[in-house]
Amino acid sequence: MSERVVHGRRDAIARSAVATGKGDDGSTGLLYGGRIDKDDARTEAFGTIDEAVSAIGLARAEVNALRREERLPEAIAELDDTLLTLQRDLFVAGAELATNPEAWDRLEDGLTRVDEAMLVRLEAMLAEAEAGIEMPREFTVPGADRPRPRSSWPAPWCAAPSAVSSRSIVSACCRAPG
């Protein structure tokens, strides 16, 4: 059964509040106008950042579930705030990457453009986290016991998008005008 076409778009897309059909040509829209290919390095970078934000969100949901169940260890009582800060900072990085380069002058430090204060905060958070743990001497494989997957799954989900994003960001910056 073929779908009815309305103003050049399939009926379901025409009625959707989310899907516009504009990306059917293989492009995606940028903040402040313009479009780039969906396989552009910047698209890959902000897409993988979005995946990391989602993975961190799942970790936050677990922390909050433990808090509601009154089973949250005191050592990680502030983890929700830390994870939320990371999510918000990643949104800023994603916004910067998703902005039309011709409009970069319209971005605001700390709101839509990564600034020095954000980098300093992230470096301090990393140093604090590393000081409180003994890093394993080899890769860990989740699944040895039941708690391990819950505590370790965000790491690879965030690390993989982070690695892809950093490679994509470097690639995108090398191609950026000016």
pLDDT in tens, 40-71: 999 999 999 999 999 999 989 999 999 999 99
In a shared domain, residues 46 and 113: yes
- The CATH number that applies at residue 91 is 1.20.1200
pLDDT tens digits for range 104-119: 999 999 999 999 999 9
- 61 located within any domain: yes
CB neighbours (10 Å) of residue 7? 7
pTM given for the model: 0.72
Number of other CB atoms surrounding residue 91 within 10 Å: 16
Residues 50 and 134 in one domain: yes
For residues 87 and 125, membership in a common domain is answered with yes
| Structural domain harbouring 164 | 40-175
pLDDT at 151 (0 to 100): 46
Would residue 35 count as lying in a domain? no
Q: Which two tokens stand for residue 90?
A: 């990643």
C-alpha closest to that of 36 among 107, 97, 93, 81:
97
- pLDDT lower than 50: segments of the chain: 1, 148-154, 156-157, 178
